[in-house]
Structure 1
Amino acid sequence: MAREQSGICAEGNLHSQYLLFNCSEGMEPAIRSQLAEISHYLEEKADEYSDVAFSGFIGVGANYWESLYPKAKPKLLRPFPSLSQDDRHAPAFPLDLFIQIRCDRSDINHLVSHEICLMLEDLASLVEEVRGFRYLDSRDLTGFVDGTENPKGLHRQEVALVANEDNEFRGGSYIHIQRYVHDLTQWDKLKVKSQEDIIGRTKQDNHEYSSFNKPKTSHIRRTGLKDDAGNSVEILRQSMPYGDMKEQGLFFISCCKTPLNFELMLRSMIVGDNKGHYDHLLKYTQAVTGAAFFAPAVSYFSANS
């Protein structure tokens, strides 16, 4: 059975480092070879630093996949769905590679990131690097607990990983990332009850509002979707806060067996329903990046190098 990359379904960590690359044209054979080396390196480090829960994964950009692996493509892989409605925007900034590195020691993340950059030297340019961190008891910088609705236990794999629907890419995952910048100055001016109405949960004890009391413009209402059969539309979030005193926000990461679930949630947030109910959290945060990737099973890179 195809085994997923270690970082896809990993539990939370204290620290993360995200590396975003664009690759040099005409270097695909060398890049394929190096990705196999990097994949092996990440798995080695997951064993070596298991005591601090090290994990990582490599995602190949939706717009780059066919250049790098022209023989076959995941069935549902497609570009990031750029959306815009009034003053709400989800921009698309296609990238070739996304590498997530996480563990409970930031120095190890730095060490591994440095080695990976050396391995891709002369093959790819580092477009962006973001360092994330756990904030308090797994809260977003808005002060609310983040990831409460994440699937638990073995259900994480069921939600995040491709299975029989695309056997060639079994064990892989569709990845969507967005870097959100929060306007905490304006957010912090709100009364706690107003913040809670925007999120759909209580701030201190993290209790979800009842369906009756949950505003149709609340974040949880806009992302807590059901399909036609009444089943929850789920993704596995691997997001973490990031920032400094000049700019801070959330590095959002969705892992799922299909891109459709993320796309439905994003549309529900930005465009809303047919009655104008959109996610009012977007009054206080703005996505400044957006990209789609596929993270294949761990054996894929060596088998296609």
Structure 2
Amino acid sequence: MAREQFGICAEPNLHGTYLLFNALDDKNAFIRQALSRIPAMLDHYADQFSEANLSGVIAIGANYWDELCPEGRPKHLTSFPTMQSDDRIAPATSGDIYVEVRSDRSDVNHIVSTKIMEFLADSVELIEQTRAFRYLDGRDLTGFVDGTENPQGKNRRTVALVNEEDDPEFAAGSYLHIQRYRHNMKLWNMLKEKAQEDIFGRTKVDNVEYASEDKPLTAHTKRTSLKDDDGKSIEILRQSMPYGDMKVQGLFFVSYCHSPEPFTLMLKSMIQGDGEGHFDHMLKYTEAQTGVAFFAPSLNFLKSLADN
């Protein structure tokens, strides 16, 4: 039975490092060998620094998959769904390989990230690195709790992982989407607390969601809490974290799912709205600057890369 990468469904950590690479020409064989070795390295450091709760995820870009793994492709893997409506845009940007490192120690993240760079060596170009952190009790820098609607317990695996029946070759893998959002904190902080709560559809301090009848159609929770034709909630597993310094602040959005469709539906609901002009008003205060689609294969699949 295929085993998933532990970091996909792991509980939140205090620190995150997100590494985004483009592959260089004629380096695919080297990259396959390097990616196959990273899980064992993560296990080694997870044992060495057991108190840090280290986990990681390795993912391959939708636009790079066929070049690196021509033997087969996950059934639903597609490019990032670029969208635009008025001044709201979800851009698609480049990214062939994604590595996510999370733990409760920033120094451990640094050690592991350095090792990953050594493994990949000159086969890749590092195009972005983002260091993120837990803010207060799991809040975004806007002050609101992030990921309240995340699936819990065993349902995390059901939501996040491809099942055996749907795509046996890629079972225990996960469709991954990342977006780096930049917040306009100056503009956001000019709002009164009640105005901020109406934008989220949730109270700020005690994190109580508005009743459905009290929730504006433009509220973030309204635009992202979707249901399918059978009335069942459409879910994704978020592993997002805030990032920033004194100049730039935002959210590094990360979502895992057994299919790319839930993310696409939520993004469309946020940007294009409901067809009656009701889009996510949080987008007045934050802007997606990147967007890449990946597949995070099982540990079994990653190990097999060394054999080809």
| 8 A contact 2:46–2:52 mirrored in 1 | no
Q: Deviations over 1:178-219 (max 9, x none)?
A: 000000100000010000000000001000000000000000
Q: Residues 1-305 of structure 1: matches in 2 within 5 Å? A: 1-163=1-163, 164-305=165-306
Q: Deviations over 1:5-59 (max 9, x none)?
A: 1110010000000100001111111110111111221232233333221000101
| 8 A contact 1:60–1:295 mirrored in 2 | yes
Query: TM-score, normalised to structure 1's length?
Result: 0.99
Query: The residue matched to 2:204 in structure 1 has which SS?
Result: coil
The size of the alignment, in residue pairs, is 305
| 8 A contact 2:24–2:123 mirrored in 1 | yes
> Unaligned 5+ residue runs, structure 2?
none
* Runs of at least 4 residues off by over 3 Å: none
Distance 1:131 1:221 in 2: 30
Query: The residue matched to 1:245 in structure 2 has which SS?
Result: coil
Give the RMSD, CA atoms, in angstroms: 0.8
Distance 1:154 1:21 in 2: 32
Query: The residue matched to 1:122 in structure 2 has which SS?
Result: helix
| 8 A contact 1:42–1:57 mirrored in 2 | no
Between the aligned residues of both structures, percent identity stands at: 57
Distance 1:83 1:65 in 2: 22
Opposite residue 86 of structure 2, the aligned amino acid is D
Distance 1:133 1:286 in 2: 19
| 8 A contact 1:138–1:145 mirrored in 2 | yes
Once the two structures are TM-superposed, the CA of residue 304 in structure 1 deviates from its matched residue by 2.4
Distance 1:50 1:172 in 2: 25
| 8 A contact 1:6–1:43 mirrored in 2 | no
Once the two structures are TM-superposed, the CA of residue 120 in structure 1 deviates from its matched residue by 1.0
> Unaligned 5+ residue runs, structure 1?
none
Once the two structures are TM-superposed, the CA of residue 122 in structure 1 deviates from its matched residue by 1.1
Q: Deviations over 1:85-107 (max 9, x none)?
A: 00000000021000000000000
